[in-house]
Structure 1
Amino acid sequence: MIRTHVLGFPRIGQQRELKAALERYWRGESTLEALETCGRELRRQHWKLQHDSGLDFVTVGDFAFYDQVLNHILMFGCEPARFAFTASQPDLVRGFAMARGVAAGAAACCPPHRVDHGGAAGAAGGQPALEMTKWFDTNYHYLVPEFARDTRFRLESARLLSEVAEAVALGHTPKVVLIGPLSFLWLGKSTEAGFDRLALLDALLPAYQVLLNRLHEAGVRWVQMDEPVLGLDLPDNWRRGFEHAYRQFEHCGVSILLASYFSPLEDNLKLACALPVSGLHIDAVRAAHEVAEVLDRLPPHRTLSLGIIDGRNIWRADLDRALALLRPALQQRQDLWVSASCSLLHVPMSLSADAALDAELASWLAGAREKLTELHILKCALSEGDDAVRFELDEARQALAARAASPRVRNREVAARIEALPADADERRSAFFHRQIRQRARLNLPAFPTTTIGSFPQTREIRAARAAYKRGELDAEAYRARMRSEIEQVVRVQERLGLDVLVHGEAERNDMVEYFGEQLSGFAFTANGWVQSYGSRCVKPPVLFGDVSRPAPMTVDWTRYAQGLTDRPMKGMLTGPVTLLQWSFVRDDQPRSTTALQIALAIRDEVVDLERAGIAVIQIDEPAIREGLPLRHAAWHAYLQWATRAFRIAASGVRDDTQIHTHMCYSEFNDILPDIAAMDADVITIETSRSDMELLQGFGHFAYPNEIGPGVYDIHSPRVPSVDDMARLMDKAAAVIPADRLWVNPDCGLKTRGWPEVHAALENMVEAARRLRARIRPHVAGMA
């Protein structure tokens, strides 16, 4: 029997309806009831799409108002005690408090518009949001559960059961998706030193058992239990935990489909095939080579689900290749399910009729809706024969052939430049110690220099002006004048606040990747190809379809103008090659390392031009450097070699007295610190406030050799920390990093924040730096 399903579906809506509803509610312009209504309507639409595409199930439980991991924290009642919630508070209110933080003097149950600008939260008031980090090797961010010895679990399943009832009432057959217990614990963090969160497994399993029983009573037959950690290098005690946990679920009344994705199973393959579950899903895009062994090892009475359509990228599937893999599997397996490799959360809703794409390029692409169609074609071909979908198969073949032959894809000049690249193109002229002396002499900064990460608030007025310019309602001269006015305002604000190294605020930029991709060859952009990054934050990844080069300078004029407004150093702001790669939908017809090198050379040209324009500080952001790591440690070395080399090539064309910064956020770095050091940036700024400087410990133990700016406040939360909060964090930083190498800065850019909180937070940050200078006086040449 052939059945089709998806592991999850995008939840923001075709027109980002969920984003709009969330932000209206957070601003106090809408009610909780209106937000719930929006959620129900989106679920109805998305289930209908799945049903109308011929899927045998609709997936229930993948919808979240903020994050699916947060859903599970709420569902299992393991909110951190520091939030002091009461049982009477609605789950969404509790969830938003954990996701966004609570300001001093505001209760977690207050409406969000009261919480957003509730004032600075001092050490004794308010609560910072849960830590946020990347979902495996994607650009989706999840909220990190906090676990301790006294963590208790209580089941709160009303929301999930209500969604099941919604689906049934609409005539659908629901398949419920849950994050499995081992992955849920693995994805969390221990808040007590030395505590192994696996010790909580026996306390957590009864909550899962009760939930599975309730789902059975509600008429659910299949539950998809996502255990993506099966694609990781697991310690032996965690592997034994799988055996222990799934034995407990053998008689729960529902059939469990164990789902792994993003990585081959490798040494966990035998374990996954032996677990007492009704079925197994594997990522047959990233682990196609394991299909044959899984077919041999998985007991014949168990269901096999093959994720043959790429849930991570937007290129049309090679349906002939998919059928060549599926047909032998169908001969060996009575119950074969066909699906996407992972949740479709990671691709846009639809791309086939996107207004910004030309017909040729659009014909190469597939969003979530088009991937549903591809699943339907595969099901028909397998169950009825190719003739039943001959037209559709021929169309897919023609699109693949056209893409391979298109002259838009290859550029001989780019290939020639790579061939001629000198072997030492990734080396700075001198070692860091010598560069540091020259940079300090040129910049003459105080101890604990202050800066920001780049962007300042993108107001409605800025966005309206940019939109009017794109529509042709504002001519180039008027647009340029408007953006220059915004830049001048940002510069004056920074001068009044007393910041040491300024930025121009990025008013002219829509997105840190899109802005550059629009000016590089080989990139294309959609009008509505939105993908959720976290909460209401959505990004529109570029389509990186061809060879990359830089036709003209991209940032030089704006940065030169900003530097001309002030005597203080102005930072040039660029996005790095690995981040441009990782945050795009990348071509799959050549190695990613080759594409990264092409981008690096384009960014190198921009760095050299900025230096020629008199810019002394240039930041090349690489927040996605760790995100690109293969999930298996054995493959790390090869990736890190080409990724760090790409950064160095981008950065190494400048003199010693030009200071190169990089920025990284919301990732664990401790296990790749030698490689981060090998990037050889003069200054690295990192996110550390949500972890209370925990991430900085590794830099201290490693004795990171260059300068560091640990973030002192979380820009993803509306909470404004007090001067004492920030000074306390910097004291912790100074305990592990020499004071003469520390910078003071926010965690990330300020684009999404409002001006009142930005003013308040930066004012506190500058004052915290002043206090540090009064108490800690590093005597270093070149520092004022």
Structure 2
Amino acid sequence: MNKLLPTSTAGSLPKPAWIAEPEKLWSPWKLEGDELAEGKQDALRLTLAEQQRAGIDIVSDGEQTRQHFVTTFIEHLDGVDFEKRETVRIRNRYDASVPTVVGAVSRERPVFVEDAKFLRSLTDGPIKWALPGPMTMIDTLYDAHYQSREKLAWEFAKILNQEARELEAAGVDIIQFDEPAFNVFFDEVNDWGIATLERAIEGLKCETAVHICYGYGIKANTDWKKTLGSEWRQYEETFPKLQASNIDLVSLECHNSHVPMELIELIRGKKVMVGAIDVATITIETPEEVAATLRKALQFVDADKLYPCTNCGMTPLARSVARGKLQALSAGAAIVRREISA
């Protein structure tokens, strides 16, 4: 990407009301069969057009073809039984009914590759595709087979690498792995979490990113944030090892959070997707607020490595709010771009 401060989103964007219930996480599909397949493509076209109209430089599918950022990928794998459910504590914050790993996990066929090819056919610009990271995948399941978080993570890393290589071949420019679990299980991240992530990106020539946030603006997450005190220093635990890893970009939450901006210094040399849009509020940022966040970040990341972004995905927001936030992100980045150029 030659443009200075290229903008992008962290992941999901709201779905149109005719395909899934709006302003709701993991909303079930309203269509079936061929109608659903066509509807997903229409939704993808729409979300692409909205990103382009808002001036987003690195576009994505907005996760329009998936119900959930983790389980939609897992649904396509062998070895996981979705009928056999157990309640587990997700990221040490909330209980959820999850599918069970009942045998060896494997991927018989590509999961998102056809969707990525479709997105690629619609635009000549750079595209980013998100996959769940190994640690976040294991944290969303009950494991009755391997009975080892680490073993299962390595198996998922191999599977993710197969998918990532095919996404790269389909023309994806940046493959992003979503790892909100990295903000919770620090010992595991440093013992094997980053290592499994590196296994997932093995052999890729396209750019790779890891997205580490404090979660969607749901009650379980906002309640958790209230317990974190006046400074959120979770990134301090994992950034030193990430800085030494082969990952190209690190995506993090900055706007309206209590993350001390100087922690970005710990990943000096990496490209940094700075979250300058708060996804836990319906208030639309002003371009100047976005610019202020980016200016602060520029003290700790070189301008040619700063990628303005959203804090997290925007599925639970109204489409009009998400649209306004995307426009603010672009306008704020444009302000700072002009200041740097001047």
> Where on the TM-score scale, by shorter chain, does this alignment land: which range?
0.7 to 0.9
1:696 paired to 2:261: yes
> Of 462, 468, 479, which residue of structure 1 is paired with 2:19?
462
RMSD: 2.5
Q: Distance in 2 between matches of 1:776 and 1:487?
A: 34
Question: Paired residue for 1:619?
Answer: 176
Question: Paired residue for 2:282?
Answer: 718
Question: Paired residue for 1:649?
Answer: 199
Written as runs of structure 1 = structure 2, the 5 A alignment for 1:75-86 is none
1:750 paired to 2:300: no
Cα displacement (A) at 1:529: 6.7
> Of 245, 266, 290, which residue of structure 2 is paired with 1:679?
245
Pick closer, same or farther for the CA change 1:705–1:605 going to 2, 3 Å: same
Question: Paired residue for 1:738?
Answer: 302
What is the aligned-residue identity percentage?
A: 24
Q: Distance in 1 between matches of 2:195 and 2:263?
A: 22
- Secondary structure of 2:180 counterpart: coil
Q: Distance in 2 between matches of 1:650 and 1:527?
A: 27
Residues 429-479 of structure 1: CA deviation (Å, up to 9, x unaligned): xxxxxxxxxxxxxxx33111100012110344222695355xxxx32x221
Cα displacement (A) at 1:545: 3.2
Q: Distance in 2 between matches of 1:717 and 1:736?
A: 26
Question: Paired residue for 2:105?
Answer: 548
Task: In structure 2, list runs of 5 or more residues that go unmatched.
Answer: 22-26, 215-231
> Of 682, 694, 705, which residue of structure 1 is paired with 2:269?
705
- Secondary structure of 1:771 counterpart: helix
- Secondary structure of 2:323 counterpart: helix
Q: TM-score, normalised by structure 1?
A: 0.38
Q: Highest CA radius of gyration, 1 or 2?
A: 1
Pick closer, same or farther for the CA change 1:755–1:687 going to 2, 3 Å: same
Residues 578-615 of structure 1: CA deviation (Å, up to 9, x unaligned): 11012222337532211111000000000000111122
- Secondary structure of 1:720 counterpart: coil
Written as runs of structure 1 = structure 2, the 5 A alignment for 1:510-529 is 510-526=67-83
C-alpha contact 2:161 2:202 (8 A) present in aligned 1: yes
Cα displacement (A) at 1:639: 5.5
Question: Paired residue for 1:480?
Answer: 37
Cα displacement (A) at 1:649: 0.6
C-alpha contact 1:670 1:695 (8 A) present in aligned 2: no
Cα displacement (A) at 1:641: 3.1
C-alpha contact 2:15 2:43 (8 A) present in aligned 1: no
Q: Distance in 2 between matches of 1:775 and 1:527?
A: 56
Cα displacement (A) at 1:695: 3.6
> Of 657, 662, 667, which residue of structure 1 is paired with 2:210?
662
C-alpha contact 2:19 2:30 (8 A) present in aligned 1: no
Written as runs of structure 1 = structure 2, the 5 A alignment for 1:546-625 is 546-587=103-144, 589-625=146-182
Pick closer, same or farther for the CA change 1:769–1:557 going to 2, 3 Å: same
Pick closer, same or farther for the CA change 1:551–1:673 going to 2, 3 Å: same
Pick closer, same or farther for the CA change 1:587–1:627 going to 2, 3 Å: farther
Cα displacement (A) at 1:562: 0.9
Give the letter aligned to residue 262 of structure 2. Q
C-alpha contact 1:524 1:542 (8 A) present in aligned 2: yes
Pick closer, same or farther for the CA change 1:598–1:760 going to 2, 3 Å: same
Cα displacement (A) at 1:699: 2.1
Q: Distance in 2 between matches of 1:486 and 1:625?
A: 31
Written as runs of structure 1 = structure 2, the 5 A alignment for 1:447-458 is 447-458=4-15
C-alpha contact 2:133 2:178 (8 A) present in aligned 1: yes
1:640 paired to 2:190: yes
Q: Distance in 2 between matches of 1:542 and 1:689?
A: 34
Give the letter aligned to residue 696 of structure 1. M
Q: Which has the higher contact order (CA 8 A, sep 6+)?
A: 2
> Of 291, 303, 309, which residue of structure 2 is paired with 1:727?
291
Pick closer, same or farther for the CA change 1:561–1:679 going to 2, 3 Å: same
Pick closer, same or farther for the CA change 1:468–1:717 going to 2, 3 Å: closer
Pick closer, same or farther for the CA change 1:532–1:591 going to 2, 3 Å: closer
Give the letter aligned to residue 503 of structure 1. S
Give the letter aligned to residue 150 of structure 2. S
Give the letter aligned to residue 36 of structure 2. Y
Pairs aligned (count): 317
Give the letter aligned to residue 263 of structure 2. G
Cα displacement (A) at 1:499: 0.8
Q: Distance in 2 between matches of 1:533 and 1:755?
A: 27
Cα displacement (A) at 1:620: 1.4
- Secondary structure of 1:721 counterpart: coil
Cα displacement (A) at 1:755: 0.7
Q: Distance in 1 between matches of 2:147 and 2:90?
A: 26
C-alpha contact 1:644 1:678 (8 A) present in aligned 2: no
Task: In structure 1, list runs of 5 or more residues that go unmatched.
Answer: 1-443, 630-635, 779-784
Give the letter aligned to residue 29 of structure 2. A
- Secondary structure of 1:736 counterpart: coil
Give the letter aligned to residue 467 of structure 1. W
Residues 532-586 of structure 1: CA deviation (Å, up to 9, x unaligned): 979xx98553323332111110000011101111111111221111110122223
Give the letter aligned to residue 132 of structure 2. T
- Secondary structure of 1:670 counterpart: helix
- Secondary structure of 2:272 counterpart: strand
> Of 46, 66, 71, which residue of structure 2 is paired with 1:509?
66
Cα displacement (A) at 1:776: 1.1
Cα displacement (A) at 1:678: 3.4
Q: TM-score, normalised by structure 2?
A: 0.85
C-alpha contact 1:466 1:479 (8 A) present in aligned 2: no
Q: Distance in 1 between matches of 2:316 and 2:90?
A: 13
Residues 42-71 of structure 1: CA deviation (Å, up to 9, x unaligned): xxxxxxxxxxxxxxxxxxxxxxxxxxxxxx
Pick closer, same or farther for the CA change 1:648–1:703 going to 2, 3 Å: closer
Q: Distance in 2 between matches of 1:538 and 1:500?
A: 37
Pick closer, same or farther for the CA change 1:502–1:540 going to 2, 3 Å: farther
Give the letter aligned to residue 644 of structure 1. I
Question: Paired residue for 2:334?
Answer: 770
C-alpha contact 1:660 1:682 (8 A) present in aligned 2: yes
- Secondary structure of 1:726 counterpart: helix
C-alpha contact 2:239 2:267 (8 A) present in aligned 1: no
Write 1 or 2 for the structure with the bigger share of strand.
2
Q: Distance in 1 between matches of 2:280 and 2:86?
A: 23
Written as runs of structure 1 = structure 2, the 5 A alignment for 1:122-521 is 444-463=1-20, 467-469=29-31, 474-475=32-33, 477-521=34-78
Residues 605-628 of structure 1: CA deviation (Å, up to 9, x unaligned): 000001111222111111212322
Residues 465-515 of structure 1: CA deviation (Å, up to 9, x unaligned): 95355xxxx32x221111100000011111111111000111221111110
- Secondary structure of 1:543 counterpart: strand
